[in-house]
Structure formats: structure tokens, C-alpha cells
């Protein structure tokens, strides 16, 4: 999703390879509240993280960079 085009409520873009539903748009902060389709948990993402097509690019979880802190 191009940064200048904010999605609208109800749109179904992709976050990585999973489809999400747009719940709310915070245009001032360029944040989008979304939820995965078939799920109820809502969360915010940067508008630049959303795409029009699934993205299967390999990535690494930030949790792995945290290391072993004994938690």
C-alpha cells in the first residue's frame, strides 16, 4: 500500500502474507488499526506495512533479537 494512499475502514489489505481488515485510520500518525480476518484481536500497524498483495519475503522476528533473558 503506497504511503500517500491511506486505506479506508473495511478495506482488506495484506500484512505480510495474511489478509487484515481495516478497523480505524489514524491519519495524523499514519497508523491503521486492523485485525486478521477470522480473528477478533485488534492491533495498530504503520500504513507502510500494508500491501495490496501478499508478501512472502523472508523475515526475522524481532523477538529473536531479544536473546535469552530467562523469561
Give residue-wise pLDDT tens across range 4-60. Answer: 689 999 999 999 999 999 999 999 999 999 999 999 999 999 999 999 999 998 888
Strand pairing partners for 19? 14
Cell numbers describing residue 26: 489514524
Please give the grid coordinates belonging to residue 33.
488499526
pLDDT at 3: 47
Give the pLDDT confidence score for residue 62 in this predicted structure. 78
Residue-range domain boundaries for the chain: 1-57
- Predicted structure pTM score: 0.77
Quote the strand ranges of 1-71, DSSP E: 14-15, 18-26, 31-36, 42-46, 50-51
What's residue 16's pLDDT?
A: 93
| 21 neighbors 37 (Cβ within 8 angstroms) | yes
Query: Which residue(s) pair with 5 in the sheet?
Result: none
Looking at CATH, the fold of the domain delimited by 1-57 is given as SH3 type barrels. (2.30.30)
Amino acid at each position: 500500500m503506497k504511503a500517500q494512499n491511506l486505506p479506508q475502514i473495511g478495506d482488506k489489505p495484506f500484512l505480510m502474507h495474511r489478509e487484515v481488515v481495516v478497523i480505524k485510520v489514524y491519519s495524523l500518525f499514519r497508523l491503521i488499526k486492523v485485525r486478521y480476518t477470522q480473528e477478533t484481536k485488534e492491533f495498530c500497524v504503520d500504513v507502510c506495512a500494508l500491501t495490496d498483495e501478499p508478501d512472502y519475503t523472508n523475515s526475522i522476528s524481532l523477538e529473536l533479537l531479544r536473546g535469552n533473558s530467562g523469561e
